[in-house]
Amino acid sequence: MNCGRCHHSDEAHEEGPSMTGSGRCSLPGCTCRVFEEPFAALDEM
Ligand SMILES: [Zn+2]
Ligand SMILES: [Zn+2]
């Protein structure tokens, strides 16, 4: 699954404060601060 904001993988995002979401993106140069669920991916089952 990729982030809806920066399109990086969820593994690139650090552990978030909540159990359901991830925190900031750890990739260098990325300014994404919170993992966002991509809406399109929900259709790809
Ligand atoms: Zn992101
Ligand atoms: Zn990112």
DSSP secondary structure of 7-43:
--BGGGEEEPSSSSSEEEE-STT----S----TGGGG
Boundaries of domain holding 27: 10-43
How many residues does this entry show for the chain? 45
Task: Identify whether 25 is part of a domain.
Answer: yes
Task: Identify whether 1 is part of a domain.
Answer: no
Q: Give the per-residue pLDDT at 37.
A: 84
CB atoms within 10 A of CB 31: 9
Q: Give the per-residue pLDDT at 32.
A: 93
Task: Identify whether 23 is part of a domain.
Answer: yes
Closest listed ligand to the CA of 5: 1
Task: Identify whether 2 is part of a domain.
Answer: no
Closest listed ligand to the CA of 22: 1
How do the pLDDT tens digits run along the chain, 45 residues long? 899 999 999 899 998 766 666 789 999 999 999 888 887 655 555
**Cα separation, 6 vs 44, whole angstroms:** 19
Q: Give the per-residue pLDDT at 18.
A: 66
38 Cα–ligand 2 center, Å: 13
Task: Identify whether 16 is part of a domain.
Answer: yes
Task: Identify whether 32 is part of a domain.
Answer: yes
Supply the pTM of this predicted model. 0.70
Task: Identify whether 5 is part of a domain.
Answer: no
Q: Tally the domains of the chain.
A: 1
